[in-house]
């Protein structure tokens, strides 16, 4: 129907159109903000590398060591290599692995870095690979977060926002929440 300015429906139509427009921009604004926050907390991308779901477990008591976990995806056609990491919240951030040796779970530093094959995936998770945070400036508290920089041979430096989960808590999809 055609609305003429003196139609009884005209003010209603204008009003609802204005509300729709306002609502649209409000949603757009809120959606954008949320998206940025989520992206910061859950995902970082640079070049062909994507780092997903970075998290750490809250420190038990006054422990000054911790570990960070995440998943790395390589969308490229060439392999890349994670060669190091660093953070301002700990003296050292080393690439570590857990290995069963003679029935005992042992932890050691991974020398020479870790390859992520073309189109491949590398998961850091409890009882497996982790970034060992040694000499934390202060214990990690649930709900807080910190920045951790991962250094890749090709992609370069990618800084991720690691979210601290409560002791015993872990993001879904992460089996066996124990360092
Ligand atoms: Cu370790």
CATH number (domain holding residue 154): 2.60.40.1890
> Does residue 170 belong to any structural domain of this protein?
no
Please tell me the predicted confidence (pLDDT) of residue 156.
97
The CA 55 to ligand 1 mean position distance, Å, reads 15
Please tell me the predicted confidence (pLDDT) of residue 30.
42
- 45 with 150: CB under 8 angstroms? no
Please tell me the predicted confidence (pLDDT) of residue 34.
40
Please tell me the predicted confidence (pLDDT) of residue 8.
57
| pLDDT averaged per 10 residues, the chain (length 179) | 54 51 45 41 88 94 90 97 97 94 90 97 96 95 95 97 86 54
pTM (predicted TM-score): 0.72
The CA 171 to ligand 1 mean position distance, Å, reads 19
The CA 107 to ligand 1 mean position distance, Å, reads 5
The CA 32 to ligand 1 mean position distance, Å, reads 37
| Whether residues 25 and 109 fall in one domain | no
Q: Which domain holds residue 97?
A: 47-165
The CA 156 to ligand 1 mean position distance, Å, reads 23
- 164 with 145: CB under 8 angstroms? yes
> Does residue 2 belong to any structural domain of this protein?
yes
100: enclosing H helix or E strand? strand 90-101
| Whether residues 9 and 57 fall in one domain | no
CA–CA distance from 160 to each of 8, 87, 177, 179 (Å)? 57, 10, 21, 20
The CA 108 to ligand 1 mean position distance, Å, reads 6
């Amino acid at each position: 129907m055609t609305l003429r300015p003196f139609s009884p429906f005209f003010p209603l139509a204008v009003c609802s159109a204005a509300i729709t427009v306002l609502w649209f921009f409000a949603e757009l604004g809120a959606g954008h903000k949320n998206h940025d926050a989520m992206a910061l907390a859950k995902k970082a991308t640079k070049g062909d590398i994507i780092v997903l779901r970075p998290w750490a477990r809250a420190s038990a008591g006054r422990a000054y060591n911790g570990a960070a976990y995440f998943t790395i995806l390589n969308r490229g056609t060439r392999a890349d290599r994670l060669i190091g990491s660093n953070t301002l919240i700990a003296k050292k951030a080393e690439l570590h692995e857990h290995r069963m040796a003679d029935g005992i779970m042992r932890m050691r530093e991974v020398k020479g870095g870790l390859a992520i094959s073309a189109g491949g995936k590398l998961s850091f998770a409890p009882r497996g690979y982790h970034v060992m945070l040694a000499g934390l400036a202060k214990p990690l508290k649930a709900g807080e977060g910190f920045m951790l920089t991962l250094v890749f041979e090709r992609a370069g430096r990618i800084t991720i926002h690691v979210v601290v989960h409560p002791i015993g808590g872990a993001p879904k999809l992460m089996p066996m929440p124990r360092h």
